[in-house]
Structure 1
Amino acid sequence: MAAKPELQAQISALPHKPGIYKYFDDEGIIYVGKAIDLRKRVSSYFTKQDHNKKTQQLVKNIKRLEFTIVDSESDAFLLENNLIKQHQPKYNILLKDGKTYPFLCITNERFPRLIPTRNKINDGSRYYGPYANGTSLNILLELIRALYPLRTCNYKLTEENIEAGKFRPCLELQIGNCNAPCIAREDEATYNQYIQQIRNILGGDLRIPKQYFREKMTAAAQGMQYELAHQFKTKLDKLEAFQAKSTIVNASLTNIDVFAIASNEKSAFVTYLKVMNGSIILTQSVELTKKLDEDDAEILAPLVMQMRQEFESESREILTNVALELPLPGITLAVPQIGDKRKLLELALKNVLYARKEKESMNERSKDVNEVRIMETMKKDLRLKELPKHIECFDNSNFQGDFPVSAMVCFRNARPSKKDYRHYHVKTVVGANDFDTMYEVITRRYRRLVDEGQSLPQLVIVDGGKGQLSMAVKALKDLNLWGQIPIVGIAKRLEEIYVPNDPLPLYIDKKSETLRLIQRMRDEVHRFGITFHRKTRDDATLKTELTDVKGLGPVTADKLLNKFKSVKKIRELSEQELIAEIGKAKTKVLQAYFDSQTQAEA
């Protein structure tokens, strides 16, 4: 699709540099993209001929463009991501903003606290996360509070304040959740030892905390403090139970990000695993709606950049199931084929494929529920005895009485069953006679079903009023099928539904699902029939034109039309091309005919 003149001038002025480009329609930004070479990338939208329909629609709507030059491809990635979040353009995949993900914060104060938060403040505190959801954060928080007696108050525990006796212990001391550093019952060195172990746990390394509780348990047992030894054993058991629930991979695998993507026609699903010290410490799955039929690499590349940014990943290695090229100096990108890294990637793949299957199954179940509801509504509205799982709809087409054809579309479970659609060349009716045509086609269709022992539909719809309906009923009666197949007609003008033996139309709410399905079938059979009618008429017209040429003959006409499809294309053939197809003598006859036609038109 060629660019408009005003756009072409802008494109010609674009630099051969990395940057981002923004497309606008009359209302604002509709697409943001990145490029290593701005001019080449933007030009490709208007010069390539194989764009899909969605991209063609995007290009059609572009009224103007803007661009920003950046220093590197990495800067282009980040700027594109930020602009997509800010403007949410119509044709971009919208990536979820992770600013509300929760963190665990170890506060920067004497006797630090461990608190959950969604706001990061630059006050020297240490933040861990973000966590994909509140559930995983709460499980970790509850574990740590069960292991270590941390304070939860917000007192300013300076040495001066404690020595001055400004504080009084709270209920947390009485229930054993805190050792009351506010009244100097917990020394700072021991408390900081707890904090260091908590940092190890939050970093995914449980070895030092486990060793600590094991040593404490042994020492207490040797000192015959059996109740205290049991307390340490309980805490050690909690740590080991937590570790057992974590997915353990090879202990040598650490600081790795794993991304797997699986997509279908409409959506893409991505699973992210973060591996530290041999354990998966974070999992996150997202679903994205495709906007321009992007391939998996196009979708995954910006998502890797964003998710690493949102989850503050410092991993130096990224594993994916599709090859990516990302502007990340010093970071290894790989698609592993064997070994423990391949097993890790397969775990991510298993999760993402499960997520896709679940979503597709949910959509399918939702469709099934909708279809049953529609059929039950139709059964009630049309007073049918059975659920109309199999419905057939008929329509006729002709052009001033010539080339009469008919068509039937079949819906099963309220969905089109295209393999059951049928075309009919009318055989016994001369001229434009919709009534007799309907009789012929209904007779042919259901005589064949009976002869072949096939099941009959639970509903037949004819496109037309009382006249067409009465002839369809007559056909069923002549086949001894009357009473076995319910039948109705839909009149075009007022969308009225007629039933046999009732002069008045059946009233159905204009917004009802019954009427909408009948209209959908009527429109589909009309489309199907008109397409067939035009093809029949065009084939007959073309064939008649060539067979009228004296000295050519029907076999030669059919041969040319079957290969070149139209008289126009045959006209455009050179003399040598025609000779190669039909020989010198017939070529001379055909060219003389074409010359006479040209002179007549002039």
Structure 2
Amino acid sequence: MPHPDFDAKAFLTSVTTRPGVYIMHDETSDVLYVGKAKNLKNRLSSYFRARGLNNKTVALVSKIHHIDVTVTHSETEALLLEQTLIKKYRPPYNILLIDGKSYPYLYLSTEHRAPGIFLHRGSRKKRGRYFGPFPNTYAVRESLTVLQRAFQLRDCQDSVFDQRRRPCMQYQIKRCTAPCVNKISDADYQATVADAIDFLEGRNQALFERLEAKMQDKVAALKFEEAATIRDQILYLRKVQEDQNVAGKQGEVDVFALEFQPHGACLHWLMVRKGRVVGSRSFFPKIGLHDDKSELFGQFIGQFYLASERPDLPDEIITASEVADASDIEDAIFELHQKRIAIRHSVRKERARWQELAQTNAQEQLAMHLAKKETMAGRFVALQQALKLERLPQRLECFDISHTMGEETKASCVVFTPDGPDKRQYRQMNITGITGGDDYAAMAQAIERRIKRLQKEDRPLPDLLVVDGGKGQMNQTIAQLETLGVRNQVRLLAIAKGVTRKPGFETLYLDTPTVEIMLPGHSPALHLIQHIRDESHRFAISGHRKARDQKRSQSLLEQIPGVGPARRKAIIRHFGSVHGLKGASLREIERVEGVSSKLAEQIYQYINSH
């Protein structure tokens, strides 16, 4: 329900059906949310429906005191205005991706008689050549290392250069030709600068041809040491080119991947220039109302190109999935920057590899971000406050059960501390002696074994024991803790999926099924609980699958005539699994130690017929 002072029904009767932008305010007139719409009446009406709203939208609507509307001529104009207003007001319910930092460049002081190459950030008023921008300073420093090794350009400031009387250490380790003390002529140094510029601008083939001709001239003049130096330079530059290019193709591309989880999100930007990956950058935005990937990408891309400075626009934008309102964003970018940029998500060949690389980076970066000490510590504090715990918990243990129709039941126990997941203390347990599929009995056995092990080793019990399940699982756990005599020594938290079974709608039970807690979807405490729950689930499934596959593999191999324990072991050692064996050729099977041609034929026929 909206704020009592806001008459939503009366407001909606007067709203236009034309495109435009709406600004939602609270009772103090602070901006809550800025949005755009093709049809303002339809879009705004969707906020005040009785059903189908996620918890973030419900929270937003409850705070709305009044709404301002601005009509525009087109959807493109609405998109541009929306991004301008988001940048201006930074509303709490919008996705916030704005990054105020200026981007770093490589700066070549070409006005100096011996140009130096430096990292530069800020205004580009000094005379010289600028190369970039780069996504981060790491990418610039990496390029500086390449340039120093390949071209031996100086990186000292002019004040140091003017005072030198003898070569510095950079000259000794062959990272500089020491133009400061005339170890190289000005003409030769300028020629080297020209080579470096060609390399930075992607004219590699012309550069290699020139260097090879220069090397041959040195050989003809019997200057073999100088020829060898040029040879090494060519080999190094070719290796750099090989490492940085993907399939040797050219491209001016920005690649975006989004890893979105209930407890956090990462947008990863991969920057490709002249067919070369020049760097990347990760953003961890505050997620707004949308949890649909296409909507999130639409918000991200819109802010990235329309609400902040982008001096080096690509020819193409590649995303990991479809972008909502992609054509509108393309039109808005053209109107703002006078450059037509295509947005694509279905790509092949080298672009698909860039896309895959960006997605992998997004996953890895989000995992590292969530595991950071400061992030995890803050969530532990939020958990203490949300659950009203007397002291800050120092150790959480979460249990989960995994099986397939009762087969190979595994229990997992994962441990979190304020420093993050403590994987050294993770444990997996084989659950035996129960009826297949009885999760209650499996959980009881897992907790009994865990508590007894901690007591036997004289180790502290967890401050909070977390189980993935509702009231039934909690009752079973309480009974087990009472049997073990530790009911009053361990706080218990059970996580039940909500009616929609979507993340953010979980119901929590603390210590008893009668104490029910609902945390908002944006709560850091809930994010911590979701994180440990998901991690225990992942760990249980991985252990179960490994045990199940191993059992099935052994069972299939045991059925092959003539294959005993020694040969089964040799086959698994050679192929890793039955899955690897199934994809093997007859000739490859013959290479297994102890397997004759005749037996290899039998194995091949049996495996491919089952």
TM-score using structure 2 length: 0.56
Partners of 2:464 and 2:493 within 8 A in 1: no
What is the aligned partner in structure 1 of residue 23 from structure 2?
A: 22
Q: Distance in 1 between matches of 2:304 and 2:12?
A: 33
Say if 1:374 and 1:414, in contact at 8 Å, map to a contact too: no
Q: Deviations over 1:172-218 (max 9, x none)?
A: 58964356489897446x65554444344334553343333333222
Query: Relative to structure 1, is the Cα distance of residues 212 and 48 closer, same or farther in structure 2, using a 3 angstrom cutoff?
Result: farther
Letter of the structure 1 residue corresponding to residue 48 of structure 2: F
Change (3 A) 1:487 1:124: closer
Larger Rg: 1
Partner of 1:351: 361
For residues 356-407 of structure 1, give each alpha carbon's deviation from its aligned partner in whole angstroms, at most 9, with x where no partner exists.
Answer: 55667889999997315899xxxxxxxxx997589xxxxxxxxxxxxxxxxx
What's the offset of the Cα at 1:95?
1.0
Asked if structure 2 preserves the Cα contact closer than 8 Å seen for 1:204 and 1:281, the reply is no
**Equivalent AA in structure 1 for residue 485 of structure 2:** I
Q: Deviations over 1:222-271 (max 9, x none)?
A: 2111221222223223323333432x323334112222223222333323
Tell me if 1:314 matches 2:313.
yes
The aligned runs of 1:144-223 (5 Å cut-off) are 144-150=147-153, 171=166, 176=171, 177=176, 180=179, 186-187=185-186, 193-223=191-221
Partner Cα distance (2:367, 2:130) in 1: 35
Matches within 5 A, 1:332-411: 332-336=342-346, 338-356=348-366, 370-371=395-396, 388=451
Q: Answer yes or no: is 1:271 the counterpart of 2:292.
A: no
Q: State yes or no: 1:225 paired with 2:244.
A: no
CA–CA separation in structure 2 for the residues paired with 1:20 and 1:420: 46
Partners of 1:148 and 1:120 lie apart in 2 by: 27
1:459 to 475, 481, 490: 481
Output the amino acid matched with 1:260: A
> What SS does the aligned partner of 2:513 have?
helix
Equivalenced residues, count:
413
Whichever residue aligns with residue 230 of structure 1, its letter is: A
Residue 421 of structure 1 pairs with residue 421 of structure 2:
no
Pick closer, same or farther for the CA change 1:528–1:235 going to 2, 3 Å. closer
Q: Summarize the Cα distance change of 1:342–1:183 in structure 2 as closer, same or farther, 3 Å threshold.
A: closer
In structure 2, the residue matched to 1:245 is 243
Residue by residue, what CA displacement relative to the aligned partner does 1:525-553 show, whole Å, maximum 9, x if unpaired? 22479xxxxxxxxxxxxxxxxxxxxxxxx
* Shift in alpha-carbon separation, 1:211–1:413, aligned structure 2, 3 A: farther
Change (3 A) 1:388 1:184: closer
Cα distance change, pair 360–206 in 1 and its aligned pair in 2 (3 A): same
Query: Closer, same or farther in 2 for the Cα pair 1:170/1:521, shift >3 Å?
Result: same
CA contact (8 A) 1:318 1:334 kept: yes
Give the structure 2 partner of residue 55 of structure 1: 57
Aligned residues of 2:136 and 2:279 also touching (Cα < 8 A)? no
Give me the whole-angstrom Cα distance separating, in 2, the residues matched to 1:337 and 1:175. 45
Match for residue 66 of structure 1 among 50, 65, 68 = 68
Cα separation, 2, equivalents of 1:284 and 1:219: 44
Pair 1:141–1:10, CA change in 2 (3 A) = farther
Pairwise CA distance, 1:116: 1.1
Name the aligned partner's letter for residue 472 of structure 2: Y
- The 8 Å contact of residues 269 and 285 in structure 1, kept in 2 or not, is answered as yes
User: Any idea what the Cα deviations from partners look like across 1:148-176, whole Å, max 9, x if unmatched?
Assistant: 354557669xxxxxxxxx97765458964
CA distance in 2, matches of 1:34, 1:282: 33
In the alignment, structure 2 segments of 5+ residues that lack a partner are 332-339, 381-392, 398-414, 418-447, 454-461, 495-507, 518-610
Distance in 2 between the 1:171 and 1:65 partners?
71
Partner of 1:525: 513
Aligned to 1:485: 485
Which residue of structure 2 aligns with residue 91 of structure 1?
Answer: 93
Consecutive unaligned residues of structure 1, counting only runs of 5 or more, are 157-165, 376-384, 391-410, 424-444, 450-454, 461-480, 489-496, 498-513, 530-602
Task: State how 1:539-578 maps to structure 2 within 5 Å.
Answer: none
C-alpha contact 2:254 2:318 (8 A) present in aligned 1: yes
Q: Tell me the distance in 2 between the aligned counterparts of 1:153 and 1:253.
A: 33
Distance 1:287 1:167 in 2: 45
Matched residue type, 1:231: T
RMSD: 4.6
SS in 2 for 1:414: strand
Counterpart amino acid of residue 211 in structure 2: F
RCO comparison, higher one (Cα < 8 Å, 6+): 2
Does 2:123 align with 1:114?
A: no
How far did residue 296 of structure 1 move? Answer: 0.9
Q: Residue type matched to 1:334 in 2?
A: R
| Distance in structure 2 (CA, Å) of the matches to 1:266 and 1:422 | 24
- 1 CA distance for matches of 2:486 and 2:168? 80
CA distance in 2, matches of 1:257, 1:517: 44
Partners of 1:307 and 1:389 lie apart in 2 by: 54
Alpha-carbon distance in structure 1 between the residues aligned to 2:42 and 2:376: 45
Match of 1:464 in 2: none
Cα–Cα, structure 1 residues 306 and 191, in superposed 2: closer, same or farther, change >3 Å?
A: farther
Question: How big is the shift at 1:41?
Answer: 3.0
Q: Percent identity?
A: 23
Tell me the amino acid that sits aligned with residue 320 of structure 2: N
Shift of 1:129: 2.9
Question: 2:285 corresponds to which residue?
Answer: 288
Q: Note if contact 1:267-1:287 (Cα within 8 Å) is conserved in structure 2.
A: yes
Q: Which amino acid aligns with 2:229?
A: Q
Shift of 1:120: 2.3
Q: CA deviation at 1:343?
A: 3.6
Q: What pairs with 1:117-156 in structure 2 (closer than 5 Å)?
A: 117-122=120-125, 125-150=128-153
